[in-house]
Structure 1
Amino acid sequence: MSGAYRAGGAFDALDVLRAPGDGPVAFGGELGAQDLLAAYRRGLFPLPTADLYAGAYNEAVYGEAVEAGEVALLAGGEDPYALAWWSPDPRPVMAPGGVRLGTRLARWLRNRSTWWTTADRAFGRVLAACAEGRQPVWLTDELREALTQLHALGAAHSVEVWEGEELVGGVFGIAVGRVISLDSMFHHRPDAARVAVADLGARFGAAGGRLLDAQWDGPHVRSLGAEPMARSRYLAELATGGVAAGPPTGEPLPASRLG
């Protein structure tokens, strides 16, 4: 690797605005904490592979697009096809207060729930639970290490849902300015992940946040209240100046307040 390499510099030349919206923007590069944060600032998120087969699949499917210059190939890494960078267009987003719980869940939270929530209390446990049993494996050890470093730097956040002292749901994501990009969620009780997202929205909104990014569109995130936003507008939201949102407050709060 060239001695001129600097964290995040690999993304400077990417024209994300005009990149494919239904495929990877680039392959390769590094997966350090600062590289990861630089990518999120440009509207990108990583999708690393866990084995040689998956990397070979990426090369077979996208190799011609890379050769044609339609998908960038970044310096760094032994196998560039083992790490893809995505920026879907459109992007599913929600207002912090716009997470949809549904009538049944809201009523249950108000009347019967004993769940309580925290933020940034058990980031590592949320990360591990999100990785457990997922196929294909994308929360690799390398990515988890980078995310843990970002959490220590105050850029990655989690929300935890508790039943007594048992962790029953959670979500984590990366904050850039007034946008937080939700990477993954999990539940060990029905609807606990949905409650985690609603709680993160409430805490992030109270700290000055204005947008929750769900990354991948689909029926599940639409059921949470996500709506498609053109990538051009999403990138403009990331680039908006002004005071960044503060970290979500971490004190224990009753989940019933969300109902």
Structure 2
Amino acid sequence: MAEPMPLSADLVMQGYRSGIFPMAEHRDDPDVFWVDPRRRGVMPLDGFRISRSLARRLRRDDYTVTVNAAFTDVLDACADRAETWINAQIRQTCLDLHARGDAHSLEVWQDGVLSGGVYGLSLGRAFCGESMFSRRTDASKVALAWLVDRLNRAGFTLFDVQFLTSHLASLGAKEISRQNYRAQLKNALEGKAVFTAPALPRSGQEVLQRSTQTS
């Protein structure tokens, strides 16, 4: 039997363009497998739901947000849990993708410490969210609010979150069929959006105001 092809940045991007993505069974598993969900989780970019508590958190501005300032730290924080699909092979490929400008992170800092963040891949006008983490209350929600704002301003049309969780559903994410997802992906791949193009908002209030205009 042929040995499985090792991951590479090109192979992962090819997989995402086809609608599939790699995972590992656990951190110490040297192998990966490809996933093609029958039902795909997506976050509608005009439907991000901001609760009253999250709105208060955004207005508080007791945090700082950066983009691509600590990609490795965000990646490792996302993998720092009892069960993770990020093995050594996936980690290295993500670092390679970041180095060539295909993978990005958004970080939330409080008191000079990384408290939350999210990372994913950009292809065409699609952003494929890989994982997020939170070390303080609502830090991952703040990260997602700022991320959705960035994706909207940069001209993205598809925010893929892979699987629907109760946490993501509470923020407006939903499931769509594989067929529907691939149709949206095909359309997104026909255009171009630059993740790093928009300037960072001046405050969480600015993010909140734009969110109410697009939702």
Q: TM-score interval w.r.t. the shorter chain?
A: 0.7 to 0.9
Show the counterpart of 2:172.
225
5+ residue gaps, structure 2? 209-215
Show the counterpart of 1:255.
204
- Stretches of 4+ moved more than 6 A in 1? none
Show the counterpart of 1:98.
47
Q: How many residues align?
A: 206
Alignment of 1:79-94 (within 5 A): 82-94=31-43
Partner of residue 127 from structure 2, selected from 175, 180, 204? 180
* Cα distance between partner residues in 2 of 1:185 and 1:39: 21
**Alpha-carbon shift at residue 250 of structure 1 (Å):** 6.9
Cα root mean square deviation, aligned: 2.3
Which residue identity lines up with residue 58 of structure 2 in the other structure?
L
Show the counterpart of 1:114.
62
5+ residue gaps, structure 1? 3-26, 55-78
Contact 2:120 2:131 in 1 (8 A): yes
3-state DSSP class of the match of 1:214?
A: strand
**Alpha-carbon shift at residue 133 of structure 1 (Å):** 2.1
- 1:145–1:233 CA distance, 2 compared to 1 (3 A): same
- Using the size of structure 1 for normalisation, the TM-score is 0.72
- 1:164–1:237 CA distance, 2 compared to 1 (3 A): same
**Alpha-carbon shift at residue 175 of structure 1 (Å):** 1.4
Show the counterpart of 1:61.
none
Contact 1:106 1:258 in 2 (8 A): no
Contact 1:114 1:255 in 2 (8 A): no
Is 1:40 aligned with 2:27?
Answer: no
Alignment of 1:32-181 (within 5 A): 32-50=8-26, 82-110=31-59, 112-135=60-83, 137-181=84-128
**Alpha-carbon shift at residue 151 of structure 1 (Å):** 0.8
Which residue identity lines up with residue 197 of structure 1 in the other structure?
L
* Cα distance between partner residues in 1 of 2:50 and 2:143: 10
Which residue identity lines up with residue 67 of structure 2 in the other structure?
A
**Alpha-carbon shift at residue 130 of structure 1 (Å):** 0.5
- Using the size of structure 2 for normalisation, the TM-score is 0.86
Is 1:242 aligned with 2:190?
Answer: yes
- 1:187–1:159 CA distance, 2 compared to 1 (3 A): same
**Alpha-carbon shift at residue 251 of structure 1 (Å):** 5.0
* Higher radius of gyration, 1 or 2: 1
Contact 2:23 2:90 in 1 (8 A): no
Which residue identity lines up with residue 151 of structure 1 in the other structure?
H
Q: Percent of aligned positions with the same letter in both sequences? A: 36
**Alpha-carbon shift at residue 116 of structure 1 (Å):** 2.1
Contact 2:64 2:110 in 1 (8 A): yes
**Alpha-carbon shift at residue 50 of structure 1 (Å):** 4.0
* Cα distance between partner residues in 1 of 2:27 and 2:100: 29
Contact 2:24 2:87 in 1 (8 A): yes
Deviation sequence 1:161-213 (CA, Å, 0-9, x none)? 11142111100011121111111000111111011112111112111101211
Contact 1:94 1:213 in 2 (8 A): yes
